Amino acid sequence: MDGFDVQKLILDMDINWTPVIAATVCGTGALYLFLKWRNNQKIQKKILNARKRRDKSLQQAEQAVQQFKIQNPDFESSSIVSLSLPELTGKLKDGSLQPDAVLYAFMEKVLTAAIFCMWIMYEIYEFMASFRGLQSMIVQYLAEIQTIPFIKTNIPQGLLNYDCSNPIYGQTLNPCNLQKTSGGSSGGSCIKGQKSVLTSLGPLGRDVESLALCMRALLCQDMFSLDPTVPPIPFNQEVYESSEPLRIGYYENDGYLQPSPSMARAFRETKDLLERAGHTLVPFQPLRLYHAFHELTVRGILGDGGRTLFSHLYAGPIDPCLRAQANMLSIPGFIKKLISIVLKPFVSASHLCLIKQSVEYIQEVIAEWRRLNVDVLLCPMLGPAFNFRYCGSLNSALSYTILYNLLNFPAGAVTVSTVTEDDEAQLRHYKGVHGDVWDKLFVKAVKGGVGLPVAVQCVSLPWQDEMCLRFMREVEQLTAQSKLTRKH
């Protein structure tokens, strides 16, 4: 018997393949949309559960505070939360304040600060026990010295934005103006392995002395033993308390982004106060800032083409603040390949040695620092706070701050003024360095900032955190004295 000829059978059949192909395409498309819908449903469920956990923790905290107030009728939280950190620690040490009263006072303050997105870590002891050995070294050490980390604040999606918003908990607002961003974090935690722009601890405090107290607690033998990767350099109290006149480098404009009127005025006022206090001010200009920003910083952060960052964002909701970056990272691979082929003749192999170039740039800046014989550096701090949705589109505004991430220099911000009506009027005539779309976008981002705080930035060389803090304290004290003099 002849074999069954399938090919002949198919050829003899009069089949209209058009509807078959159309049905296959439609079925595949429907399956894709169904899977995408199901994935979105799972994500939305996880987001809803996270919000419920936060709401539950806030409710538990509120109940605990109310219970404590019932048990302690004389409890008054305002007198506790108004204390500076040194005052607070002093009262805890001498026994005039009890630890539980302090904890519940700050829990009550958090509960009334509804403008923030926060999560009370209630049942602290169970929390610390369940995560022992898993939390960061700093949190672990703080817990061991009787510090209670009882709250987590909101974070930007991807930890790579200077706004503070994400698809789970939403937008954090500025307490001084609810129409403004609170600022954010550039932790870069999902970009493991890149060494060009390093992450660092960034403590916040009401005053410089609080930061110094924090650093004294961290820079000690117990911390060095807990984390052997930390250089065993104890806090140098002598440097911090020194009152010797400083030789201060300064620049008002980095040549990349023209400071806003309030930034420039705050800087000039601080420079004038320092000169009148007997310090020597020396002009200093950032070296090859375009190269440092574009070639070393941006290339360093996105050295893997953004794959690591995008892998954490893929298939999930994207926060509007991160939309611009996500759109860039989601360009199809074949298009990126075509672009790389076109650009290959214009990119030398040396451009790929980013870590080597970064080290050379750091040494170049240090050499200039030594040539001018300066102790510290004074420069503007980005401000005032932005309007919503601009941070993700204005990476150029980072030039005043991200440079010191690249250099790995200690840098701190000290509030010295607030935006005035005159600053706002001058902003209408702002042209910028280039007069391009980014300069115009910067004006839109910072307008409407009357009354918002404005800071200056204090910088020192690597491993000289005490010098940076000493300089910050000098700026803080001179500013306070100036305000007091103007009042009288």
Which CATH number covers residue 429?
3.90.1300.10
> Region 180-206: what's the mean pLDDT?
68
Span of 83-87, 136-140, 369-373, 445-449 with lowest mean pLDDT: 136-140
Helix (H, G, I), strand (E, B) or coil at 71: helix
Give me the pLDDT at residue 122, please: 46
Q: Of 422 and 184, which is predicted with more confidence?
A: 422
| Residue 277 falls inside a structural domain | yes
Confidence of residue 442 (pLDDT cuts 50, 70, 90): very high
pLDDT value at residue 188: 45
Instruction: With respect to residue 364, please indicate whether it lies within any of the assigned structural domains.
Output: yes
- Please report which confidence band the pLDDT of residue 28 belongs to, taking 50, 70 and 90 as the band edges: confident
Name which residue leads in pLDDT, 195 or 361. 361
pLDDT of residue 369: 96
Average pLDDT (150-165) is 81
Mean pLDDT (whole number) for 465-481: 97
Q: What's the average model confidence in pLDDT over 215-238?
A: 87
Tell me if 211 is assigned to some domain.
no
Query: Which position has the higher pLDDT, 21 or 449?
Result: 449
Characterize 12-22 residue by residue with b for buried, 16 or more Cβ atoms within 10 angstroms of its Cβ, and e for exposed.
eeeeeeeeeee
**Taking residues 346-356, what's their average pLDDT?**
63
Average pLDDT over residues 7-24: 68
Q: Judge whether 486 and 461 are in contact, CB under 8 Å.
A: no
Domain encompassing residue 443: 244-486
Can you give the pLDDT at residue 126?
43
Look at residue 412 and tell me if it is in a domain.
yes
Please indicate whether residue 33 or residue 310 has the higher confidence score (pLDDT).
33
In a domain, 388, yes or no: yes
pLDDT digits (tens, 9 = 90+) for 315-329: 778 888 888 777 777
* Helix ranges restricted to H, 344-398: 354-372
pLDDT at 201 over 50: yes
Residue 125: predicted pLDDT = 40
Q: How confident is the model at residue 443, as a pLDDT?
A: 95
pTM: 0.85
Q: What average pLDDT does range 46-57 have in this prediction? A: 89
Question: Torsion angle of alpha carbons 154, 159, 161, 164, nearest 10°?
Answer: 0
| For range 433-442, the mean pLDDT | 91
- Residue 172 sits at φ, ψ, to 5 deg, of -85, 135
The confidence score (pLDDT) of residue 309 equals: 73
In this structure, is residue 264 part of a structural domain? yes
Is residue 456, in this structure, part of any structural domain at all?
Answer: yes
When pLDDT is cut at 50, 70 and 90, the band that residue 488 belongs to is low
Number of folded domains in the chain?
1
The per-residue DSSP string of 183-228 comes to --B---TTSTT--SS--------SSHHHHHHHHHHHSSHHHHHH-T
Residue 276 has pLDDT above 70, yes or no: yes
More confident of the two residues 404 and 347:
404
Average pLDDT on 327-338 reads 74
pLDDT of amino acid 150: 78
Residue 92 belongs to some domain of the structure: no
Helices (H) and strands (E) in the chain, counts: 21, 11
Mean pLDDT of 18-46: 84
